[in-house]
Amino acid sequence: MMAIGMVLFWGLVILGVVWLVRELSGLRGRARSEPDALEVLDRRLAEGTISPEDYRERRAILTGSHPPESGAASGEG
C-alpha cells in the first residue's frame, strides 16, 4: 500500500511541476503570438492592403483621437 502511495505522490508532484511550467511559458507565448490591433494596422499599411487615408482613420478610431480632416484644409483656400 505504501508503494502505491509513493507512486501517486511523486506522480502528482511531477504533474504539478509540468503544469506550472506549461502555464508560465504559455503566458509569455501568448503575449508574443498575438499582435495588437495597431501592429496589425501598421503591417497592413506596409503591405499596401490599405491606403494611407484608411490607415489614419482606423488608427484614430483605435487610439481614440480624431482623424485630421483632409477636406477642411483644401476647402478654405
The gap from C-alpha 13 to its chain's centroid, in whole angstroms, comes to 33
Cβ pair 13, 27 in contact under 8 A: no
* Residue-level pLDDT at 66: 73
Q: Range of 42's domain? A: 35-67
- pLDDT tens digit at each of 77 positions of the chain: 899 999 999 999 999 999 998 888 866 555 556 678 899 999 999 999 999 999 999 999 988 887 666 555 545 54
CA distance 73 to 55: 19
63 contact partners, CB below 8 Å, separation of at least 6:
38
In a domain, 74, yes or no: no
* Residue-level pLDDT at 77: 42
In a domain, 39, yes or no: yes
Q: Of 71, 43, 66, which Cα lies nearest the Cα of 56?
A: 66
Domain count, the chain: 1
